A and B are shown apart, each in its own frame.
Chain A
Amino acid sequence: MSQVGKKKRLDAKQRFVLAVLIPTVLFFVFFNFVPIIYAFYISFHEMDFLNPPTFVGLENYKRLIGDTHLYSSLRVTAIFAVTTVFIGGFLAFCFALLINSVKRGAAVLRTVYFLPVMTSLVAVGVIWGWLYQPRFGLLNEVLKLFGLPRQMWLSSPKTALASAIAASTWQGMGYTIVIFLAGLHGISRTYYEAAEVDGASSLQKVWYITIPLLRPTFVYLLITGFITGFQVFDQLYVMSGPLNSTRGFVELLYTRAFSYYQMGRASAMAFLLFAIIVTLTLIQFRLVTRQQVEY
């Protein structure tokens, strides 16, 4: 009998791999891929889910151009993303260096700094809301002890975004510290010992050894930080400030979709956000992966 045309049968291992993969692939296809394609389809339609969709071509995308609320929400989102990535990242790096040098009580410390990450965002929002309360809040009481003037925090359009960013940075820092610590543990002691023999100071060791060797960690945190920063919703939604001073892009998208029931327009916004994030990610990738460090 000829071998041509005979079907190749899978062995047990391949069948197992397939059996394990199929549910995941199906899940991804039905719960991620299909909705994304459908969202792209409805971005060219006027649709509220309650009535049949009407094809409007590029109208939903065109309307985004003249949408002033969209620009202000993009500004808020960009400020949030840049600040949380750079300031939050810098602070987390400093804390990671400090924690890395701690010999005793490291386990307790790990729990303490990771606790906010595990806390419900709504609970964090409520607690920080009270801390920030201008008349009876704890932060203003502390300022009063030092003779400093009372601040409006979340209640002023001038300080609301900064206040929300501070609270959000506090909550997310534990995760960034863990990533930095993992990177720090991967750096061999021998580099530091060699530097010590050469008489390098602590700051020089950080500058010439730690930072260059943590480059992949920085790249990872920068890219994922920007992606999550641009998708921010809950942090700003829970700690909202007056005059839409903390209204981010995704919150505006959510309002368009679920308050105005403008699903087509909201989908167009989602694809605009996707384009922004992809562009930024590619730029970052180009910029930060040019040089590789090797010792």
Chain B
Amino acid sequence: MKRFVTVALVFMLVVGLTLTAGAQVTIRHWDWHQPRMNLKQKYMAEYEKLNPDVKFETQIIAWDDYWTRLMSGVAGGDVPDIAQFHNSQTQAFLAHLEAFPADLFDYEQYKADIINFEAAYLFDGTFHFYPVGIMTGLIFYNADYWAEAGLTEADIPRTWDEFRELAKKLTKYDANGDIQVAGFVPNNILGVFWLDLHYQLGGKLYGEGAQTVDWNNEAGRKALEFIETLIFEDRVTEPGFLSFTEAMGTGHAAMVYSWSWLGGELNNNYPDLNWSVFRLPTFDGKLAPGPIARNNHETGMAVMKSARPEAKDAAFRFLKWLYEETDYLVEVNLILGTAPSNRNLLDDPRIVSHPLISAVAEQVPYTNIPGEIPYEVESSYGLGMLQDLLFFGYSAAEALELAEAEANNVLKERPVKWYVEDLYVPVAE
């Protein structure tokens, strides 16, 4: 009998071990950005070697379809275990994202290391998507035109008055007086550019509690009048000129305003273009106390609440491993044109020596994150209207009044719940 029990126990142990050893978890992952996915796949392959029980299935879905697919996936129970996330979708998806477990991820360490961690990532004390990088608005310039005009890095303007003179100097007109090379192109991103100037003059995006926007005030009008001067008085660009990306890419702009993602766009689509970048000038030439611009975080991945239970633990273990890989965090920021959210990585030689990322890193401490901005407020019914109103004869005050009214209508329809604009702490001079 004793012998029988022993044999049975050994048999059960062997079977159990065999089954456990053979159990394999497949983690499904979606992203919309191919270069980032390529990088992830490199690390996933490495992780698979280290953990033979884990396999990855990845899928690229274009941005335009991504959120609809994810939404219908949540409704229909067909979601990736790990989804690439973007904070513009926080309000819609937060309830469907699993909180990063505190026993695996050191919250206190993140509070110390990650810029804006509490404002941008903590919701009811937990975080649901990983902080990766920060973007902000910068001035990109055509280095060939810059050199042609006899300019060097020492000529990088620190005030908007200096910037105006430079833009005028770099504008080229043809024999008919039409602009051939615009000195500065904010076209198609004018509202976003205006918001940074609005911040510099003490304005804010939102009014009390983010129930309305707060644009049509002295700071707002002064900021828009400055842009009006650049366009109609200095003629460094004009209504109907190429968009900032097209103008920069095709050599019809000496300088453009853009968020830092433009670096990747220029490298991919216009590889022969010789460009560089500098941080935004200010009205008084100083950065502190700020904010001098808006920032937004490029978030990392999230684990879906409705992911398969067997994949959830494996997913978090993978994310823990991946986000502890300094090389991954640096490389992904270089791909995205963002400064690392982790302060400790800002001194990395690859970051410091990169002109674009170092410009972002220089500016980021003086930038503010307002929280969620509904798509419509940023585009067709809000900030996006400012350019069109200004181009078609409205005064700065009229343009702001109309855009503000439309944006407020959107906010009534779609109230903002994630609002952190007032958490900005002025930087000591």
Please report A residues at the B interface, Cβ cutoff 8 Å: 48-51, 133-136, 150, 152, 155-157, 242-244, 247, 255, 258-262
Complex-state Cα separation, A126 to B192, whole angstroms: 24
Output the nearest chain A residue to B92 by Cβ-Cβ distance.
Answer: A261
**Chain A interface mostly helix, strand, loop or mixed?**
loop
Instruction: Find A259's partner among B93, B252, B375 (CB 8 Å cutoff).
Output: B375
B375-396 interface bits toward A, Cβ cutoff 8 Å, 1 = contact, 0 = none: 1100011000101110110000
Q: Which residues of B contact A136 (CB under 8 A)?
A: 242, 252
- A261→B71 contact, CB < 8 A: yes
- A48→B92 contact, CB < 8 A: yes
Can you report 17 A-B residue pairs in the complex whose CB atoms are below 8 A from each other? Answer: A48-B71, A48-B92, A49-B72, A50-B74, A51-B95, A135-B238, A136-B242, A136-B252, A156-B392, A157-B392, A242-B391, A243-B385, A243-B388, A243-B389, A260-B376, A260-B413, A260-B414
- Using A48-B92, A50-B71, A156-B392 as known contacts, list a sample of 16 further A-B pairs with CB atoms less than 8 Å apart, ordered by residue number in A: A48-B71, A50-B96, A51-B95, A135-B179, A152-B239, A155-B391, A157-B392, A242-B387, A242-B392, A243-B385, A243-B388, A243-B392, A244-B380, A255-B376, A258-B67, A260-B413
Complex-state Cα separation, A82 to B389, whole angstroms: 28
Flag whether B240 is at the interface (Cβ < 8 A): yes
Q: Which residues of B contact A247 (CB under 8 A)?
A: 380
Please report B residues at the A interface, Cβ cutoff 8 Å: 67-68, 71-72, 74-75, 92-93, 95-96, 178-179, 238-242, 252, 374-376, 380-381, 385, 387-389, 391-392, 413-414
Q: Closest 4 A-B residue pairs measured CB to CB?
A: A134-B240, A242-B388, A49-B75, A155-B240
Q: Which residues of B contact A244 (CB under 8 A)?
A: 380-381
Complex-state Cα separation, A48 to B93, whole angstroms: 11
Complex-state Cα separation, A152 to B93, whole angstroms: 40
Q: Which residues of B contact A156 (CB under 8 A)?
A: 240, 392
Q: Which residues of B contact A259 (CB under 8 A)?
A: 374-376
Least distance between B186 CB and chain A CB atoms (Å): 15
Q: Which residues of B contact A48 (CB under 8 A)?
A: 71, 92
Q: Which residues of B contact A152 (CB under 8 A)?
A: 239-240
Tell me which of B93, B374, B387, B388 has the highest count of chain A C-beta atoms within 10 A of its own C-beta: B388
Output the nearest chain B residue to A258 by Cβ-Cβ distance.
Answer: B68
- B380→A133 contact, CB < 8 A: no
Complex-state Cα separation, A136 to B249, whole angstroms: 14
Complex-state Cα separation, A156 to B391, whole angstroms: 9
Q: Which residues of A contact B374 (CB under 8 A)?
A: 259-260
Output the nearest chain B residue to A49 by Cβ-Cβ distance.
Answer: B75
Least distance between A59 CB and chain B CB atoms (Å): 13
Least distance between A29 CB and chain B CB atoms (Å): 19
Q: Which residues of A contact B239 (CB under 8 A)?
A: 134, 152, 155
Complex-state Cα separation, A136 to B414, whole angstroms: 39
